Amino acid sequence: MAGRQFAVFIDGEAGTTGLDLRRRIEALDGISLLSLPEAERKVPAARRRLMAEADLVALCLPDAAAAESVALAAELGAAAPKIIDASTAHRVHPDWVYGFAELAPGQAERIAGARRVSNPGCYPTGAIALIRPLVDAGLLPPDYPVTVHAVSGYSGGGRSMITAHEASGGPAFELYGLALTHKHVPELFRYSGLSRRPVFVPSVGHFRQGMLVSVPLHLDLLPGRPRAVDLEAALQARYAGAALVSLAPLPADGRLEPEALNGTDRMELRVFANEAERQAVLVARLDNLGKGAAGAAVQNIMLMLGLSDAAPAREKAALDA
């Protein structure tokens, strides 16, 4: 298919993720973007018309609107395009492939062969990346009582949160989701490999983007009483050769700030441990708008369109330009 141009329609291109996704795709070869005039962006017939012209549709919409778009595409029958959904509407749906390419061996191939892919949430991306390899390696029992703490920049909270922080300053820091029913918990639970529902405590800081996700562990409660090097080995084995996810060295000062990977699609994983006290904290750092949103969407789109071989290098060049 050398030289072929694939047509992509971003349904919801005016939102935070949609705008970022458009910017990224415009810098890539092999893809042309279809777009509607602003007055037609909510007109079902106009959206369906562009869906009929597209090879792939990226949904950057609230959950209910995303479900409506999927129904519109289904009306096209065999001519329906491939779909990637950035909302939470289909992340645990059995007919959709979860779009975390590094989830497990073969996941990238499943994404490449899928007609419908759900793009992961930012928080679950970091948590699953830390937990799933340890469960698969037998180091972390599926029924271990996992707690996940995370802090994100305010851009992950949508338009109202962005407006609150940028217009009036917003709070320096706040916990939220304290009813313990955050919308990311179902996918975190399902794809982490856990059999016991994890406790998830999200928070937001007064910075635009960036994210830290942490998982504390009592090493003496784990099978075989593993050391930090055992946890690191499991993570290294899972992500060896991965272009965007890697095990990173520990900072000399014992501190980690959330913004260092902003503007990239990389995710760094670290294991902090006190062997004397038999405790550890696993930490993932990523850009909530990169690997946590539009960056992951581009990675999945490239896989779905068969353009994945040069995707990381192309996207890095585009971001660095």
Catalytic residues: 122
| Total Cβ atoms within 10 A of residue 213 | 32
> C-alpha angle with apex 261: 257 to 267, nearest 5 degrees?
100
CB-count exposure of residue 73 (10 Å: 0-12, 13-18, 19+): buried
Calpha distance 200→182 (Å, rounded) = 8
Calpha distance 190→51 (Å, rounded) = 30
CB-count exposure of residue 140 (10 Å: 0-12, 13-18, 19+): buried
Contact 272, 281 (CB under 8 A): yes
The residue type of 234 is A
